[in-house]
Structure 1
Amino acid sequence: MLDLTFTQITEWLGFVWWPFVRFSGFFLIVPFFGDTRVPVMVRILLPMIFSIMCAGIIDNVPSFNPFSIQAYVFAIYQFSFGFILGMVVLLFMNIFSIGGQAVSMQMGLAMAVMNDPSSGASVPITARIFNITAMLLFLSLDAHLIVLDIFVDSFRQWPFDTEYPFEGIKHVLAMFGWMFSSALIIAIPAMLTMMLSNVTFGFLGKIAPSLNIFTLGFPMTMLLGMIALMLSIFGVGDIFFDMVSEMRDHMNYVLSL
């Protein structure tokens, strides 16, 4: 007859529950896995499956007592660990949304917005084009597997008894500068093209005041904007791999703090 004690049950639950909490914080915010278009049941099952798979490689796991207040505090503590790493990936994907918004403003399409199912907010149409392109490149390069591999490594570099990573939070906040600068690199071909077109139409308006610049300029601006958008999208593929490498380095650096 198998005789189980409450202590043994709480120890076994800890091997699954604590990785599940950390994975939940990660999958809540990371793109693709935490997309609102993914059914809620799937978003719950994913961290559960990964936590069961990782249960055998994790050492020094504390027991889980559901009747203890310390367990709930520790759950929030572990949830924030996954949230910090997920924020790195989210900032990486926001690079392309911000770049698309910058291109949209230069093209005069700031009012052409559509609903973003992943965030529930209204974003310019060009931002959605950039976002979808980046997501397809992200999956085609198996970058989601790289992200998961680094996150699994967090159980070794950030064990359950480690101190709270305040330095990691500071680095994530500093990454906002990297996000905006990278978005500018993506959008700068279109921005320069549209700036030159605006300067050209300004000279035309000065040289030939009889010309209706608004009637002539708007379709020409849209045409040049489409060409610039095409050039920007083609340029995304050239620098995407380098940005994925930078994201990987940022995640590893946060783990090393």
Structure 2
Amino acid sequence: MALSFSEITQFLGHVWWPFMRFTGFFMVAPIFSDKAIPMQFRVMLAFILGLICSSLSGHVPAFNPFSFTTILLSGYQILFGWVLGYCVTIFMAIFTMAGQALSMQMGLGMAIMNDPSNGVNEAIVAKIFSITSIFLFLSFDAHLVVITVMADSFTFWPLSSPIPVSGLEHVLKMITWLFSSSLIISIPAMVVMLISNTVFGFMTKAAPQLNIFALGFPLTMLLGLIALSISIKGVGETYFDLTMQLKDHLYYIMGLKV
């Protein structure tokens, strides 16, 4: 059975466009974009998911590997997947920022370690929150949630749809969600640290002979560690709620009012 060139390109189009969208997603999405994961594995995973979602793509644009239009549409699909992956990055940054704020209040802002997987320096407390968020991300099957959203994107935002300008504006508005959510997570421990610092201030005023630096720093760190352990125990329910909010944000970007 001989296949014509048009039939071959039509089949490749059903696989190529979803493959480009998943490639853009895996470029920035947390865990998937980690340097510890080989590039070959990410490309293979994007190809497999693109092959699975090829039946969901419906009408696909014409695929001609020698045309400039194909290059532009490929870049558009990569950009769309990149935007959704960046939203997941914002979600994971919530817990890193909460750890950064808490480490500053505890006086551990100078306790910094190098993260070889990302090539950046990160506070130890922030790293604890980051590792915890990764475990929760996998235990709550949040990675399956975002992949499901990516699969639904071929139905709700077809391949030939125009650029979602309102969706891109909503990505910028998610920065406020990042700050407010990180504050919600870290506010209990921050209140404890504020009260302890206020008490130490009154103690210094009432008894100036006390060496507040020798006394206050270890106590502040101890209270901070206690508050940190209590805060992490209750972060699971908050994490689940934030995961559902992330799902709503992703669907909103695709034009679905949820």
TM-score interval for Structure 1 and Structure 2 normalised by the shorter chain: over 0.9
Which residue type is aligned with residue 233 of structure 2? Answer: F
Is the partner of 1:3 in helix, strand or coil? coil
Which residue of 1 is the match for residue 131 of structure 2? 132
RMSD over aligned Cα atoms? 1.2
Normalised TM-score (structure 2): 0.96
Which residue of 2 is the match for residue 113 of structure 1? 112
CA contact (8 A) 1:37 1:117 kept: no
Structure 1 runs (4+) deviating above 4 angstroms are none
Which residue type is aligned with residue 150 of structure 1? Answer: V
Which residue of 2 is the match for residue 210 of structure 1? 209
What is the correspondence of 1:9-48 to structure 2 with a 5 Å cutoff? 9-48=8-47
| Percent of residue pairs identical | 52
Q: Distance in 2 between matches of 1:244 and 1:50?
A: 22
CA contact (8 A) 1:186 1:235 kept: no
CA contact (8 A) 2:57 2:159 kept: no
Q: CA deviation at 1:15?
A: 1.1
Which residue type is aligned with residue 82 of structure 2? Answer: F
CA contact (8 A) 1:189 1:231 kept: no
Normalised TM-score (structure 1): 0.96
Is the partner of 1:122 in helix, strand or coil? strand
Is the partner of 1:119 in helix, strand or coil? coil
Q: Distance in 2 between matches of 1:8 and 1:116?
A: 48
CA contact (8 A) 1:12 1:63 kept: no
In the alignment of these two chains, the number of paired residues is 256
Q: CA deviation at 1:149?
A: 0.9
CA contact (8 A) 1:13 1:63 kept: no
The unaligned stretches of length 5 or more in structure 2 are none
Is the partner of 1:256 in helix, strand or coil? coil
Q: CA deviation at 1:57?
A: 2.7
CA contact (8 A) 2:103 2:109 kept: yes
Q: Distance in 2 between matches of 1:3 and 1:107?
A: 71
Q: CA deviation at 1:116?
A: 2.8
Q: CA deviation at 1:64?
A: 2.1
Q: Distance in 2 between matches of 1:228 and 1:51?
A: 45
Q: CA deviation at 1:91?
A: 0.8
